[in-house]
Amino acid sequence: MPAHHQVDLLTLPLPHCWFEAETALPAHRFKAANLGTGSDALLGVARRTQGAELADKARPEDNTLDGAQRSFDTYFNVLRADDLPIPQYRAALGQTLKGCYLDVQTGVSLTDREIEVLSLGLHRLADWAQFPTTVDSADDTPWEAHSPSQLYRWKQQHHLFFVIVHGMLYLLHVLEEALDKSHAPVVRAILQDFAELMEASEVAFRLASDFSQEAYDTEIRPDMFAFDPHFSGLFYADHKELITRLRVLRRVGSDFGEELDRINAAITQSYEAHALVCLRFVGETSSLASKDETRVAAESIRNKYVKRTKTIAGFGKDG
């Protein structure tokens, strides 16, 4: 790794591309019983997703995101490709999961169980990206670890969150098609996988902020401020698309109440994790982007944003 620990450039599809994509059910499905424990589980899925090549290079003229959204991508070293999303996504998944594993090897506060929840969700991404469940044993060259860097973790594990969000976008598209065809078994399987991705996203979010208060004060926040004094996750285009597309869950019938309850609970947990991160690092103060210095970032998440998301998804005001 370079001395500044810059994350590798990550090429992702534009979010709308997922809703124009041809869909296919997974040809291979990973069995949770084969997951392994702790970081070994993460290594397994990282190894599984290696070998895919980038399908096409990003072309700036094809990028339809607005200026603030492009700026957000630039901060996290992300480019966009307006092309077939699955080939792009396969390459992004392999790159990101390897970086995630190597960073976790430098030390994290997550429990083995939390890493396993994350790893199972990542296997679901690999299933839908059509990766075989078996790994070529000849391709087991040891990966070179790097020295820990908190700023690297902040950006690298955001890449992890990004690929999870892209997997959710694809599943919502597949869910729309399954609902159109009234295919109940496929609807149930998609909802179960979506719930596992939501649960994995909560772990990924906490992993991205797994560093000390000192690191936040001296590295992370100054880095964001230097890039943009009003930097905000509100400029993240894929998450905006995800929130809008969650409305498809309103079409899911009461026969799938158990799966919907699990998704609802995972949404609650994800937003609460975000709120707790804000409280831990900035306390009862506002975010960089807020124009109101009296607005507490964590309370905005707990009150405004989680309620908005649940209303769009059809879960109403109750948790």
Structure tokens at 6: 């810059």
Residues of the chain with pLDDT under 70: 1-5, 55-56, 137-139, 284-296, 317-319
pLDDT score, position 296: 55
Residue with tokens 């392994």: 36
DSSP string, 22-75: -----SS---GGG--SHHHHHHHHHHHTTTPPP-S---GGG----HHHHHHHHH
Taking the C-alpha atoms of residue 290 and residue 300, their distance in angstroms, rounded to an integer, is: 10
Q: Provide the whole-model pTM.
A: 0.93
309 and 246 Cβ atoms separated by less than 8 Å:
yes
In SS3 terms, 220-270 reads as: HHHHHHHHCCCCCHHHCHHHHHHHHHHHHHHHCCHHHHHHHHHHHHHHHHH
pLDDT score, position 201: 95
Question: How far, in whole angstroms, is CA 145 from its chain's centroid?
Answer: 23
| 202, amino acid identity | E
Kindly state the helix (H) or strand (E) to which residue 164 belongs, with its residue range: helix 150-180
Question: How far, in whole angstroms, is CA 195 from its chain's centroid?
Answer: 13
Cβ-count burial 11-20 (b if 16+ within 10 Å, e if not): bbbbbebbee
pLDDT score, position 141: 79
Q: Which of 276, 260, 149, 298 is nearest to 205 (CA)?
A: 276
